[in-house]
Amino acid sequence: MTTTLLTDPDSAHLLASLANRHSVGPKYLTYPAPDLAQLEAAARVASRAPDHGMLRPFRFVLVGEAQRPRLAELFAADAAQRGQDAEAVERARERAFNGPALLAMVVRVRADVPDVPPHEQWLSAGAGLMNLLNALHLMGFAAKVLSGPSVRNPQIAAAFCETDECLSAWILAGTPLHTPAPRGHPNPPPLVSCWD
Ligand SMILES: Cc1cc2nc3c(=O)[nH]c(=O)nc-3n(C[C@H](O)[C@H](O)[C@H](O)COP(=O)(O)O)c2cc1C
């Protein structure tokens, strides 16, 4: 195995790019969207997340263009069930058309694996999500992870999940209209400390 360190220009460039990844909201995402092959490639990177017990606790479901109206009806019904007014129901319906590509992230956390408690499986799913976002970023796309009440609606969850799965988030992806400005603390405190 060859070791690439920061002195390797390619590796330094990739690390700098990953260190500057930022989410881009749906208003600033345009076409082209990642196509199925690109999403599959990003999901392969996601699948390299550490996975104790090889449980594969997550998967992604693409909501294609033809399926958006069906999701829009589910979003509208959810908003109506939550007692939202007509305008808010319309806004909820329109959200199904946000994001040039729209994925649902589905997580299965098993309770019957004593060596791999639920928090480890959630960590693995989170790592998979991050790997997916980083892969899309390195391909030149941008994305935003959103949840909101829709992921907790039983009818919407049932449309994507088996009974032992959890609809965890929506991932909206596309081409960024601009390079997102760096956010966060300009001088972040150290995240690694030495045990003494
Ligand atoms: C599972 C999950 C769900 C999220 N849901 C929302 C959401 O509903 N609304 C929102 O504004 N941000 C949400 N976020 C946060 C954004 O995706 C994003 O991380 C945040 O705006 C910070 O941007 P950054 O990724 O550039 O640091 C969620 C993040 C995760 C991991």
CATH number at residue 152: 3.40.109.10
Q: Which residue has the tokens 């599959």?
A: 40
Tell me, using a 6 A CB cutoff, whether residue 147 lines ligand 1. Answer: yes
In a domain, 169, yes or no: yes
pLDDT of residue 2: 55
User: Is 191 a member of any domain?
Assistant: no
Number of domains in the chain: 1
Residue 184 backbone class (left: φ over 0; alpha: ψ -120 to 50; beta: rest):
left
Supply the pLDDT for residue 180.
79
Mutate to test the pocket of ligand 1, among 145, 152, 166 (most ligand atoms within 8 A of CB): 145
Ligand 1 atom closest to 180 (CA): 26
pLDDT of residue 172: 98
When pLDDT is averaged across residues 144-173 and rounded to a whole number, the result is 98
Determine which helix (DSSP H) or strand (DSSP E) holds 33, and give its type and residue range: none
Query: Does residue 59 line the site of ligand 1, with CB under 6 A?
Result: no
- Look at residue 4 and tell me whether its pLDDT is greater than 60: no
Label residues 74-108 b or e (16+ Cβ within 10 Å = b): bbbbbbeeeebeeeebeebbebbebbbbbbbbbbb
- Bridge partners (DSSP) of residue 145 are 171
Instruction: For residue 55, give its domain range.
Output: 24-176
Instruction: Classify residue 3: in a domain, yes or no.
Output: no
Residue 53 has pLDDT above 60, yes or no: yes
147: in domain: yes
Q: Quick check: is 8 in a domain? A: no
Q: Is residue 193 domain-resident? A: no
Report, as an integer, the average pLDDT of 46-58: 98
Distance 23 CA to ligand 1 centre (A): 8
The DSSP secondary-structure symbol of 176 reads E
Longest dimension (CA), the chain: 60
pTM (predicted TM-score)? 0.95
Could you tell me if residue 82 is inside a domain?
yes
| Encoded tokens for 28 | 């600033």
In a domain, 14, yes or no: no
Confidence of residue 162 (pLDDT cuts 50, 70, 90): very high
- Of the chain, the end-to-end C-alpha distance in Å amounts to 34
